[in-house]
Structure 1
């Protein structure tokens, strides 16, 4: 049998094996609107809906679980989950996870501050002595994570972080720009909180699965189908609905300028 035929046979077997055994691919993720979230029991979001469409095209059934991010990582490590949605790439995770060649979306980490306690800044040096709200299990840029100039204080949820910021329990919080803007409207605090324009780091989000779990070819197929879908009008419509540019699109001049001014120019951290 020719090699290409063998590879196709293995791929087909991989894709069908879950259904044949009555199993579903177990994917975990943290609510991260507008990329992935639940609303009245319905799963939504740019990356969730994109992933669901790609898996449907591949004939793979998925069992989704929405959990705190630290729990998601723990389930990956113990084999209780097959993969994670909207995870960032890092050299450390490369040893245990397989990543498709195509990302789902792009994020930009920025800071938010309370209007009655403004802390505008242009570099990490300007954050000296402040307390920054973070999220457990998230890996930020090396300079931000290693800095001794300020204190990092985690909160169990993104909503809790914004609550602490409004009450003055932290000076700033760091999160993705779109996530932060979504929560300002969701929590009704847009008149109380402002986004600092300085980009701390920029990173791609992926669907990743555990290594050594027989899903190597499935990951390749997922990446190829994702890339194909992102060229279709349906993906453009989906992106527009969530106010996001396609991950493969060329950055605007404004985004490029912001990136050039980023605090962290080295390899950015990962969620």
Structure 2
């Protein structure tokens, strides 16, 4: 089983204002995430990526101590639901997650696109949804979206590389993925871009989900988090 990687940054809150803040915040914020290049990934034992830097910026503005844990995406959400973690990131909004968590203002964004082998699948044809097997990252918002909208989904890939391999092996006709993530994975795998067709589906904001229990315990935290995230908008 893949070992989890955690990093912690402990900040000292001093003075009367620090004590007041500590009363309305956790001693240490616990957030879970997934390996999702280029947003968040591990390199030489360190978490990197635009998503990591964005979260670090927000929490630095807030002067909030934190710990980030990288694990499987479905597990990150489950740990938040059961209360082991305070929240998970980067995530797009959906009603399933709203049942147990509260969504922040967007801190980043993503584009969803269909990826398929050039010339083999007509994404815009009437028979595409009815007859073509498709896939998305298991447990992702895209995976739930496919099920909700009646696409043929039986595969549960847990990494972008696994998704692309399903497509290359002919096990699925198309995959629904994040542009930046899939394009970086294509580059890493050494696949010719000319072999892949891309069709834009929609754009989606990305934010942080905090458990309802956490928000109820610290009712001002999300307000402060959203305010701080606006200051990190250009970062």
TM-score (norm 2): 0.80
Whether 1:197 and 2:203 are equivalent positions in the alignment is no
Q: Secondary structure at the match of 1:98?
A: strand
Q: How is 1:1-271 mapped onto 2 (pairs within 5 angstroms)?
A: 11-15=21-25, 17-18=26-27, 24-100=28-104, 102-115=105-118, 118-122=120-124, 125-140=127-142, 144-148=146-150, 150-191=152-193, 193-199=195-201, 201-213=202-214, 214-231=217-234, 235=235
Query: Is there any run of 5+ residues in structure 1 with no aligned partner, and where?
Result: 1-7, 19-23, 236-271
CA distance in 2, matches of 1:47, 1:58: 17
Paired positions, count: 216
State the 1:152 CA deviation. 4.0
- Deviations 1:12-48 (Å, cap 9, x if unpaired)? 5224x50xxxxx3111111122222222222111121
Residues 142 and 176 in structure 2, CA contact (< 8 A), matched pair in contact too: no
Residues 184 and 193 in structure 1, CA contact (< 8 A), matched pair in contact too: no
State the 1:224 CA deviation. 0.6
State the 1:153 CA deviation. 1.9
Q: Secondary structure at the match of 2:181?
A: helix
Q: Secondary structure at the match of 1:144?
A: helix
Moved more, 142-151 or 59-68: 142-151
Would you identify which runs of 4 or more consecutive aligned residues in structure 1 move more than 4 Å? 8-12
Q: Which has the higher strand share?
A: 2
Q: Secondary structure at the match of 2:185?
A: helix
* Residues 77 and 124 of structure 1, relative CA distance in 2, 3 Å threshold: farther
Residues 133 and 151 in structure 2, CA contact (< 8 A), matched pair in contact too: no
Q: Secondary structure at the match of 1:118?
A: coil
CA distance in 1, matches of 2:62, 2:147: 39
* Residues 94 and 122 of structure 1, relative CA distance in 2, 3 Å threshold: same
Aligned CA-pair RMSD: 2.5
